[in-house]
Amino acid sequence: MNVLLLGSGGREHALAWKLAQSPLLTKLWAAPGNPGIEDHASLVDIKPADHRACIDFCLKHSIDLIVIGPEAPLVDGLADNLRTMGFKVFGPDREAARLEGSKGFTKDLCAEAGIPTAAYARFTDAEAAKYACPEFGLPVVIKADGLAAGKGVIIAETSGEAEAAIDAMFGGEFGKAGSEIVIEECMAGEEASFFALVDGETALPFGTAQDHKRAFDGDAGPNTGGMGAYSPASILDAAMQARVMAEIVEPTARTLAARGTPFSGVLYAGLMLTAEGPKLIEYNVRFGDPECQVLMMRLEDDLLALMHTTAEGGLAELDPPRFSDDVALTVVIAANGYPGTPEKGGAIAGIDQAEASGAKVFHAGTARDGAVLVASGGRVLNVTATGKDIAAARKAAYAAVARIDFPTGFHRTDIGWREIERSKALQKA
| Mean pLDDT score, 200-229 | 95
Torsion angle in degrees (nearest 10) through CA of 367, 372, 373, 377: -50
Q: Residue 148: its pLDDT value, please?
A: 84
| Pair 422, 397: CB distance under 8 Å | no
pLDDT in tens, 330-375: 999 999 999 999 999 999 999 999 999 899 999 999 999 999 999 9
- Judged against a pLDDT cut of 90, whether residue 237 lies above it is answered with yes
Q: Residue 212: its pLDDT value, please?
A: 96
Q: Residue 357: its pLDDT value, please?
A: 87
- Judged against a pLDDT cut of 80, whether residue 79 lies above it is answered with yes
How many CB atoms within 10 Å of residue 334? 27
Q: Residue 429: its pLDDT value, please?
A: 66
| Mean pLDDT score, 195-218 | 97
- Judged against a pLDDT cut of 80, whether residue 426 lies above it is answered with no
| Pair 145, 122: CB distance under 8 Å | yes
| Pair 411, 332: CB distance under 8 Å | yes
| Mean pLDDT score, 282-309 | 98
Kindly tell me the burial class for residue 340, based on how many C-beta atoms sit within 10 Å of its own C-beta (0-12, 13-18, 19 or more).
exposed
pLDDT in tens, 300-329: 999 999 999 999 999 999 999 999 999 999
Q: Residue 36: its pLDDT value, please?
A: 98
Question: Greatest CA span in the chain, whole angstroms?
Answer: 62
Q: Annotate 142-200 with DSSP letters as a single string.
A: EEESS--TT--EEEESSHHHHHHHHHHHHTTTTGGGGSSEEEEE---SEEEEEEEEEES
Secondary structure of 384-424 as H, E, C letters:
EEEECCHHHHHHHHHHHHCCCECCCEECCCCCCHHHHHHHH
How confident is the prediction for the chain on average, in pLDDT?
96
| Mean pLDDT score, 40-52 | 97
Per-residue pLDDT band for 94 (boundaries 50, 70, 90) equals very high
Q: Residue 223: its pLDDT value, please?
A: 85
Per-residue pLDDT band for 29 (boundaries 50, 70, 90) equals very high
- Judged against a pLDDT cut of 80, whether residue 149 lies above it is answered with no
| Pair 319, 223: CB distance under 8 Å | no
